[in-house]
Structure 1
């Protein structure tokens, strides 16, 4: 029996590639297409705005800053400010946040074995929002906004998980209900903070809760990217472990994988990137639900491909939403409103078409 297991491909034993018929070539092609889509979206987003700048001028400004032989004397000060100081940090931050939320959603869905799970539904976003609001209201003697958001985001997912756990099992419906309960509690506490906040802190909390990239700076990029990239790489490297965890704890133990250890690592990393994203740009819902599910429809359930595809698709999607937010009207629309408008119908579609399979 052991000889047969050694001779059989892990993916054949798990039934991912054969059962779903997705060839390796097709997966690589789709990943390449998503990468090209992300590059195109970045290029278009930098040129779009109230002040139109050609892609040639954008390329010249970027080259002038990045090349050791770059010459900024040929670049107008206005164009340089718009492209390098305003648009590029915003574009990079949107890609980073979209990557973080989509990757976290894929990891949570794999760990909890259901594509309806995402950071917003589990209450992490509400917990991180409360932590960040605490940092805003009590900024003089409280923890930093990012650290506070991570602590309370971690508390939210831990509370939801242990509240839903029954007889060493975690039913999906119970987990979702627990996430709703925990999210409601933290949302109520955010309302209390808004009630006692000063006018300046209240305005900051209100704008921040709607989600947006209005104040994106290079400092935000320097804060998020060095944490999101290694966290993403670790989660991607553990993708094949996540495939085994998706089968259930008993099956994972039978294959020699410690489910508690790997779930702890994966959930901690997913919570970290979600909390960082929320603490920087506010609550942006549905990205973590929609993107992993969309990539599974294209690539199948193999997390070695789902995680990078979700990251690229999430970055592109959130960047498109942000570009719409700042160009549709003269007054900028919070990007969280746009993602919610698009996300709610998508959840309705999932429940109508695949609800029994997901909740069963």
Structure 2
């Protein structure tokens, strides 16, 4: 704990601007490397030239290089950055809302609901737009059901909401299993299973046009109210005493985190552990103050998921589903972080 406190004191209070600059540089470096590597390797100067060619003519640039960077890799890299940041911010907000370090963005069933919607769409059609749209809608519906169930009880607290989310998540997971059971094992089932394991393989610029505004808007809302999350972390009674409209704040956090989580899942499938682990990593450096933690979690999450995605598409001849790698890394890292922070996560 003394080590954590020293780290938080150094980065979170004394050198926070420097720390954010370091994280931005890490993200920029990771982005450049991700654009460079792959089956078709591209030198760094050509990567920069290809990106600039979108704004000014570059007749000396190979059309192949431009196509690889601008049409294939750049949309994917941007999507990975947005999803990594969004899931990290959503996880940070939910952990502050529920005052529980074991909470992740899918605690209210958004991932299970989105997975069911995607499975239904893949069963009935191969249209990627239909798959993403239905995944987004059913993710929102799942959280709406969880919130509706929690409102049935006169005792309105976060524990009831979490339990309702677990029930709804289990229901949609069962429905997804049913869809997989009836799916054609040769033509439909592999696509459903691969999507549920998470991948950015099919992300295009058109997907970003729809998803990016949703992700950025949700993150912006959570960023603007991040100081209020600190008040929730003190306890609802204390927050009420300070004049905070608890119910309004809860709904704002839940809606914002749910929307960005559903949008993230709709474009890349289910990517676990990001929203659970990254907030803990951020707390090690800057402590539990959400005014500092939310931006740091976004930057760490973006860089982390970008590294994982780069490994997923380059380490073998065939792309590894990103959800597998995040789980393999996330589980032991989370266990280590729990031992390191112990009971002092707040």
337 and 61 in structure 1: CA distance in 2 versus 1, 3 angstrom threshold: same
Query: Equivalents in 1 of 2:92, 2:179: separation in Å?
Result: 32
Classify the secondary structure of the residue corresponding to 1:223: helix
Q: Are residues 190 and 255 of structure 1, via their aligned partners in 2, closer, same or farther at CA, if it must alter by over 3 Å?
A: same
Verify the 8 A CA contact 1:292 1:306 in the aligned structure 2: yes
Call closer, same or farther: CA 1:352–1:123 in 2, change over 3 Å: farther
Which one of 307, 319, 340 corresponds to residue 332 of structure 1?
319
Aligned twin of 2:289:
302
Backbone CA RMSD of aligned residues: 2.8
CA displacement 1:120-152 (0-9 Å, x = unmatched): 3443211221122233334599x9444533443
In the alignment, does 2:254 pair up with 1:293? no
1:356–1:51 CA distance, 2 compared to 1 (3 A)? same
Change over 3 Å in CA distance of 1:59–1:350 after alignment to 2? closer
CA distance in 2, matches of 1:334, 1:152: 22
2:158 matched residue in structure 1 = 170
Residues 1:89 and 2:93 are matched in the alignment: no
Q: Which runs of 5+ in 1 are unaligned?
A: 1-16
Change (3 A) 1:356 1:119: same
Q: 1:353, CA displacement in angstroms?
A: 5.0
CA gap 1:309/1:353 in 2 versus in 1, 3 angstroms: closer
SS of the equivalent of 1:203 reads helix
- Give the aligned partner of residue 140 of structure 2: 154
Count of paired positions: 335
Instruction: Work out the CA distance in 2 between the residues paired with 1:197 and 1:358.
Output: 44
For 2:214 and 2:165, locate their aligned partners in 1 and report how far apart those are by CA, in whole Å: 26
Q: TM-score, normalised by structure 2?
A: 0.87
1:280 has 2:267 as partner: yes
Residue-by-residue CA offset, 1:177-198 (whole Å, 9 max, x unaligned): 6544433321111111123335
Q: Quote how far apart the aligned CAs of 1:200 are.
A: 4.1
Deviation of 1:163 after TM superposition, in Å, equals 5.3
TM-superposed CA distance for 1:29, in Å, is 1.6
User: Deviation digits for residues 156-179 of structure 1, max 9, x if unmatched?
Assistant: 3455565598944334xx776654
Asked whether the 8 Å contact 2:281–2:337 carries over to 1, the reply is: no
Contact kept? 2:136, 2:265, Cα under 8 Å: no
The aligned runs of 1:169-318 (5 Å cut-off) are: 169-171=157-159, 179-198=165-184, 200-318=187-305
**Which residue number corresponds to residue 126 of structure 1?**
112
Cα 1:123–1:346 change in 2 (3 A) is: farther
Alignment counterpart, residue 112 of structure 1, candidates 77, 90, 98: 98
Asked if 1:43 is matched to 2:29, the reply is no
Alignment deviations for residues 199-253 of structure 1 (CA, whole Å, 9 cap, x no partner): 5443332221110111121112212112211221111011111111111211111
Deviation per residue, 1:95-126 (Å, 9 max, x gap): 11111111111111111111210023443211
Structure 2: runs of 5+ lacking an equivalent: none
Q: Is the contact between residue 235 and residue 266 of structure 1 (CA under 8 Å) also seen in structure 2?
A: yes
| 2:142 partner SS | helix
Asked whether the equivalents of residues 150 and 271 of structure 1 are also in contact (C-alpha less than 8 Å), the reply is no
**Contact 2:196 / 2:270 at 8 angstroms: preserved in 1?**
yes
Distance 1:89 1:254, change over 3 A: same
Secondary structure of the structure 1 residue equivalent to 2:15: helix
**Does structure 2 retain, via aligned residues, the 8 Å contact 1:116–1:358?**
no
Paired with 1:304 and 1:353, the residues of 2 have a C-alpha distance of 23
Q: TM-score, normalised by structure 1?
A: 0.84
Counterpart of 1:14 in structure 2 is none
Q: Distance in 2 between matches of 1:157 and 1:351?
A: 28
**Contact 2:9–2:286 (CA under 8 A) maintained in structure 1:** no
Deviations 1:267-324 (A, max 9, x none): 1011001011111110000000111111111111111221111111111111000000
